[in-house]
Amino acid sequence: MTLTVQPFDAPLGAAAAGIDPRAVDAADLDALKRALAIHGVLVLHDQRLTPAELLAFSRRFGEIEYHVLDQYWLPEAPEVYVISNIVENGKPIGNPREGFGWHTDLSYMPLPTAYTFLYGIETPATGADTTFCTIYPATDALPAALRDKLDTMTARHSYAMLHASRPWAAPLTEQQKARSPDVFHPMIRTHPITGRKGLYLGGATCVQPLGLSDDEGRALIEDLYDRATRPEHTYAHQWRPHDLVFWDNRFVMHSATEYDRARYRRLIHRTSVRGEKPY
Ligand SMILES: [Fe+2]
């Protein structure tokens, strides 16, 4: 089979076809990684993937990252993280409020996520879009003086800060805290496949530029998020059941959107693949 990609009428994202995620050879894998490095987001419709098949496909891209919140690991496959509003026997089967606010995945890890895979099993008829933006237009349009400064800057990425910004979330266990000490990444990173440089912003509530006061740091982050996430840089994915959506977190940010939780069930299986140390 040969991969074909049909770019969306958007600044990023493409529909992929001609690939069976359950039978990917080395050439397919290479083509998928290159397509992700160009289009940022790929969508494969009408997939039927067991958790084991989703995992096996994800593993072809690299080492699986376990999510910090172990209470939402899929019991039979803990590398699969469950996003859902479904409650069974009085217990949520997944994280009901995952992914709101623009971010890249797991930037607070020493080796942040390179690729994220979301497989939609139950998806609301309306709402719950996943919105994506490419970081490159904003990076390329930075004023020269700001760009020069950012080229030399490092930021702290902190899961503790992120968690503190979510008052509804359960307190972290000591083990969860130990798994997520603060890490430091450059504010402009290089894509390992294309060599292209782009802002690396993590999540607005977990990133703190070094060498600035708290107020200056917050103002800079707000300004960069505003530049990066303008509507003309985005694509909103409207889910259909059995969509497999995956993206390259090294230059793509994303954000969840709300849906009618009383009316619709949502069940998403997610896997994350660890990348390199940002440089
Ligand atoms: Fe995310």
Render pLDDT for 135-157 as a digit per residue (tens, 0 to 9). Answer: 999 999 999 999 999 999 999 99
The per-residue pLDDT for range 13-27, each reduced to its tens digit, is 999 999 999 999 999
In a domain, 242, yes or no: yes
Distance (Å) of CA 206 to CA 65, 93, 211: 19, 26, 16
Q: Which residue shows structure tokens 């300004």?
A: 223
Cα 53 from Cα 24, distance rounded (Å):
11
> What does the pLDDT read at residue 150?
98
Determine the distance separating the centroid of ligand 1 and the alpha carbon of 130, expressed in angstroms: 9
In a domain, 138, yes or no: yes
> What does the pLDDT read at residue 18?
94
Reply yes or no on whether the pLDDT at 1 is more than 70: no
Band of residue 166 on the pLDDT scale cut at 50, 70, 90: confident
**Are 268 and 130 spatial neighbours (Cβ–Cβ below 8 Å)?**
no
CB atoms within 5 A of ion ligand 1 belong to: 99, 105
Determine the distance separating the centroid of ligand 1 and the alpha carbon of 26, expressed in angstroms: 27
Determine the distance separating the centroid of ligand 1 and the alpha carbon of 255, expressed in angstroms: 7
SS3 of residue 100 by DSSP: strand
> What does the pLDDT read at residue 87?
95
> What does the pLDDT read at residue 188?
98
Question: What CATH number does the domain containing 30 carry?
Answer: 3.60.130.10
Reply yes or no on whether the pLDDT at 98 is more than 90: no
**Lowest-confidence region among 8-17, 92-101, 257-266:** 92-101
**Are 84 and 266 spatial neighbours (Cβ–Cβ below 8 Å)?**
yes
In a domain, 53, yes or no: yes
Q: What percent of the chain has pLDDT over 90?
A: 85
Kindly provide the b/e burial profile for residues 109-118, where b requires at least 16 CB atoms within 10 angstroms of the residue's own CB: beebbbbbbb
Q: What is the mean pLDDT of residues 60-76?
A: 90
> What does the pLDDT read at residue 161?
87
Reply yes or no on whether the pLDDT at 99 is more than 90: no
Reply yes or no on whether the pLDDT at 57 is more than 80: yes
> What does the pLDDT read at residue 175?
85
Question: Which range of residues forms the domain containing residue 109?
Answer: 4-274
Q: If you average pLDDT over every residue of the chain, what do you get?
A: 95
In a domain, 279, yes or no: no
In a domain, 119, yes or no: yes
- Of the two residues 160 and 146, the one the predictor is more confident about is 146
Determine the distance separating the centroid of ligand 1 and the alpha carbon of 99, expressed in angstroms: 5
pTM summary value: 0.94
Reply yes or no on whether the pLDDT at 126 is more than 90: yes
Q: Which residue shows structure tokens 């930021």?
A: 155
**Are 250 and 106 spatial neighbours (Cβ–Cβ below 8 Å)?**
no
In a domain, 144, yes or no: yes
Q: What is the mean pLDDT of residues 206-211?
A: 94
Band of residue 4 on the pLDDT scale cut at 50, 70, 90: very high
Beta bridge partners of 82: 269
**What's the total number of domains in the chain?**
1
Reply yes or no on whether the pLDDT at 68 is more than 80: no
Reply yes or no on whether the pLDDT at 205 is more than 90: no
> What does the pLDDT read at residue 73?
92
In a domain, 131, yes or no: yes
Determine the distance separating the centroid of ligand 1 and the alpha carbon of 128, expressed in angstroms: 13
